[in-house]
Structure 1
Amino acid sequence: MAQRLHLVFGGELASPTKNVFKDVKAIHIVGMFPDYASAFAAWKAEAQRTVDDAHVRYFIAHLHRLRDEEQPASATEELGN
């Protein structure tokens, strides 16, 4: 069975109308989760904790969608470097 990894992260946005972080170095990494349900629970807890700040937003990244081990990660990797 393939893992379906999810990453929950968030932080302060430059503007509440755009998904651009004000300071990438200050992104809060909540954690890595083995399934969507546990990632959603962590996301919801952080979103509720910061609900009064319109500039703070949390996201769930579906890392399992990025993993295709049959495809090279970059042109450099494809060349064997």
Structure 2
Amino acid sequence: MASEAGLYEAVWRPDEHGYTHAHQIIPVLERGIAEMEADPERFKAFDSPNGWGLYIHLLPWLQRYLTACREYPDALIEVCR
């Protein structure tokens, strides 16, 4: 689902794609969220059968992430895998 929206690299692998600060991923988040909001059924098709990856959970989480990035644009991005 995140890949379909063009968000996977920025959200889960930012370090591998040159994203180091929150302001760098704001445009990516904005585009991906807009796509998800415009065509929910397209993205719900990627819902995980086991419930671990659902549109209804991912979209609000991404929206909160975008809000945080806007509030703290100079924040360093770190991910734990």
| Band the TM-score falls in, shorter-chain normalisation | 0.3 to 0.5
Normalising by the residue count of structure 1, what TM-score does the alignment of the two structures yield?
A: 0.34
Structure in which a larger fraction of residues adopt strand: 1
Greater helix content: 2
TM-score normalised by length of structure 2 = 0.34
Is the radius of gyration larger for structure 1 or structure 2? 1
